[in-house]
Amino acid sequence: MKTQFEKLEEARKFVVEKIEEFPKFLIVLGSGLANILNELEVETEISYSDIPHLAQTTVEGHVSRLVVGRLGGTRVACMQGRLHFYEGLKMDEVVFPFRVFALAGAQVFFLTNAAGGLHPSMKPADLVLIKDHLNLMGTNPLVGKNIAELGPRFPDMTHLYDPELRKIVRDTSKQLKIELGEGVYVGLHGPSYETPAEIKMYTLLGGDVVGMSTVPEAIALHHMGKRIVAISCVTNLAAGVSPTPLEHAEVLETAKKVQSKFCLLVKESVKSMEKVL
């Protein structure tokens, strides 16, 4: 039986054969945020199903493919669709594609997600720069025997969300006059939405937005020494904050409305980040 690292290496070799020089930047397109691909001068597309050992996503709004091209002059890779723990996958399967693309050559990971807002002052289509997270998924992608080739047994998490990259995004948002909040992301197992009592607890713990992704890959990538920046698009107010029931269709619809300013912010931020690599 192949070890996890052997599987990662097999997948990496497949990817670098298809993409000889893997981009330094990888952008993860959260639910409903794939419009950024319209701005991309596409070079190559790879279906996740073609990559050895990579599981397939089952979530609406998540097309399973990697797209490589130029975004505003900067060469990037875009993950259209990600895997989630609630799909019944193991945690090492959830972070597998991120580890593969990191091994292939990606250095900066720009993570995005659709999230619920935990404060009444928030409104759908708000953008929130993630400064930290609360891992409430009940597990960790580093559980089990450490893969020494990837990183240390006990990685420090103090600056998981890169301070320098966050400053670039903040400065870019000001230049573009795009309103950008900053807060703590609460990562949950899912797939059920949260109860009002749970939402109250998360706010008491210091959370600002809540979702079912981002945390596993952020931990796994930081373990590998990669640089991470992340933005949440508030697509709905969480249970108890909004009087209306929560629906996934609402998430996708709100994400569509914010795509133009989101795309502009990401494109210009990546252009500035290229100067500090």
Choice among 34, 62, 113, 273 that is catalytic: 62
Active-site residue, selected from the candidate residues 10, 39, 87, 274: 87
**64 in catalytic set:** no
Contact call for residues 38 and 72 (beta carbons, < 8 A): no
41 is catalytic: no
Catalytic, 236? Answer: yes
Cα–Cα dist 220/62, whole Å = 21
Catalytic residue among 79, 114, 115, 255: 114
Instruction: Confirm whether 31 is a catalytic residue.
Output: yes
Q: Which residue of the set 236, 239, 268, 273 is catalytic? A: 236
For the question of residue 49 being annotated catalytic, the response is: no
The one catalytic residue in 55, 91, 106, 212 is 212
The answer to whether the peptide bond before residue 52 is cis (omega within 30 degrees of 0) is no
45 is a catalytic site residue: no
Annotated active-site residue in 48, 77, 84, 232: 84
Residue of 64, 113, 173, 213 marked catalytic: 213
Mark whether 223 is an active-site residue. Answer: no
Among candidate residues 125, 157, 201, 248, the one labeled active-site is: 248
Nearest to 253 by CA among 233, 229, 272, 273: 233
Find out whether 189 and 138 touch, Cβ atoms under 8 Å: yes
Active site residue 34: no
Which residues are the active-site residues? 31, 62, 84, 86-87, 114, 212-213, 236, 248
